[in-house]
Amino acid sequence: MAANTITQAKIANFQRTVRGAIKVGASGAVSVPSTDPIHLLLDRLDCIRQTRPNRWTARCPAHDDRSPSLAITEAEDGTVLVKCWAGCSAEAIVGAVGLELKDLFPPRFDYQATSKGKHPRYSASEVVKTLMTEATIVVLGYRALQRGEALNLHDQARVELAINAIENLREVTR
pLDDT given for residue 2 in this prediction:
44
Q: Assess contact for 126 and 165: CB atoms under 8 A.
A: no
**CB-count burial class (<10 Å; 0-12, 13-18, 19+) for 118:** exposed
pLDDT given for residue 107 in this prediction:
74
Choose between 72 and 34: higher pLDDT. Answer: 72
With CA atoms as reference, report the closest residue to 137 among 101, 97, 164, 100: 164
pLDDT in tens, 101-115: 998 988 765 444 444
* Domain map (residue ranges) of the chain: 1-32+108-174, 37-105
Cβ atoms < 10 Å from Cβ of 100? 9
Distances (CA, A) of 56 to 45, 59, 84, 93, 117: 11, 10, 12, 15, 40
Mean pLDDT (whole number) for 9-25: 46
Rounded to two decimals, what is the model's pTM? 0.48
pLDDT in tens, 63-94: 999 899 999 999 988 899 999 999 999 999 99
Percent pLDDT > 90 in the chain is: 31
